[in-house]
Amino acid sequence: MKQYLLGIDIGTSACKITLFEKDGTVVVSTTGDYPVYYPHEGWAEQNPDEWWSAVCGAIKDMLAVYPIKSEQIAGIGIDGQSWSAIPIDQDGNVLANTPIWMDTRAQSICDRLNDKIGADKIFELSGNSLQPSYTTAKILWYRDNLPDVYEKIDKILQSNAFIAYRLTGAITHDLSQGYGIHCFDMRNQTWNDEMCEALEISRSFLPELVPSHQVVGTVTEQAAGECGLCVGIPVVAGGLDAACGTLGAGVVKPGQTQEQGGQAGGMSISMDTYAADPRLILSPHVVPGQWLLQGGTTGGGGVMRWFEREFAENERMKEAQGGEPSLVQLNEIADAVPAGSDGVVFLPYMSGERSPIWDPNAKGVYYGLDFSKTKGHMVRASMEGVAFALKHNLDIAEETGARVEELWAMGGSANSLLWTQIKSDITGKPIAVPASDTATTLGAVILAGVGVGLYDSFEEAVAMTVKVTRRHEPNMENHKIYQKNYETYLALYQNLKDIMKKNGGSK
């Protein structure tokens, strides 16, 4: 009987369910949508129960489209967005919406803890600076603002762990997501009781740490009834979406680098030695024995989704009349604008900004507009601004001693030949593009395949499943043009950050 692997991706705007054959061939892929709630400035939260409902609906849709016997699924892997803080009680009930990775409401808590404990001491243990986007301060925000919720908390879960819990009943925390809580000892990859106490986080809230490819349980009768799968399918712990996407893009060896083009942007460099920098993000890779030195930005593919939603009514009308998709039309008008967008520069800080500036007050900015500029200039400048954020993180990483020779692209943005070429030109790096839309769920199913013994190793799995579809080489003439705009990009933030803080200070 032919066997398959099932990947579940808990993204920011939707979940994706993808069924793979052992060689990485996509059999069928379905999605389920859910909202992000923005109740106040600086807040961004989601309802984990809506994730689970979307997952169940998407699995049922998948089985309707491709009616295999679900017992043919050899294993299930799950990846999820970073830095959730899902509070559940002893019965597994979700007690409140979780602030997500874009949420910056807990800045004052971070400020207090950095002063009390010492930012250097926190960084020395955890390998990451204490910022409001991470899970740590969100837990304490519940204590300070939702005491009735806080009193009922049994465990705090991450996004992939929550779906694994719904599927199996097992409460876990995979190693690749450990870094979101700053009592995680990055070098030893264990919880540190002394730092838990210093950070005022109850050790009892923190689940058992497990490798991402470890089988944590099997699909329960209750879960099977809700999602349509059969009882007994093995489920692995899964991992951070960026780390799974890095694996699914083929990055398993030290020095290889993934470029992320999902809702968020950034990069992940695989390292076999500990290398932390407070301006960047460090996490364990889902591949044992390696770390990922990451840059994570709020402006990625979500910038174009925002632009399309707010400014592409005309393109949507043409699409409805049988024309090309609206995003394709935007891509075409951007392609007609020369490199550098005739001086228009965009800061893609659409929900504050993460690395390397770590500024929750940062705002998106278009600079250089005049009456000669068109929508095409703004679209291209948006793409270029996201690429400048990528370059900024790469530059910082290389200052730490990391060497990046080539980028492996993943995410929906990699489907745009123009945008990928812009990133290559701006960074000066060649870019290889595997099957970009499925890299994250492919990484999740590789974890499942290794965990259940379908693959002998991560290297074998990648060699069997990851297929490069195209390559981009940097145009160095364009690179020179972009260097001038990049200098403007850096200077704009430096000159505007005090105004941004004054006008948008933490709530």
7 pLDDT tier (thresholds 50, 70, 90): very high
Does 4-249 carry CATH code 2.60.40.10? no
Tokens of 193: 């009781």
Scan for tokens 């024995």, then name that residue: 289
In this prediction, residue 507 carries a pLDDT of 41
pLDDT tens per residue, range 237-257: 999 999 999 999 999 988 899
Name the pLDDT band for 317 (thresholds 50, 70, 90): very high
Whole-model pTM? 0.89
- For CA atoms 324, 329, 331, 332, give the dihedral sign: positive
Beta strand 431-433 with 470-472 is antiparallel
Average pLDDT of the residues in 145-169: 98
What are the tokens at 170?
């097992």
pLDDT at 505 over 60: no
Identify the band that residue 261 occupies on the pLDDT scale cut at 50, 70 and 90. confident
Tell me if 284 sits within 8 A of 292, measured CB to CB.
Answer: yes
CATH 3.10.129.10 for domain 301-433+475-504, yes or no, is no
pLDDT tens for 264-303 read 899 999 999 999 999 999 999 999 999 999 999 999 999 9
Instruction: Return the pLDDT at 263.
Output: 85
Distance set, CA 217 to CA 57, 160, 452 (Å):
22, 14, 11
What are the structural domain ranges in the chain?
Answer: 4-249, 301-433+475-504
Q: Does the pLDDT of residue 436 top 70, yes or no?
A: no
Q: Which two tokens stand for residue 408?
A: 């492996």
CB contact at 8 A, 242 and 236:
no
Same CATH topology for 4-249 and 301-433+475-504: the answer is yes
184-239 pLDDT per residue, tens: 999 999 999 999 999 999 999 999 999 999 999 999 999 999 999 999 999 999 99
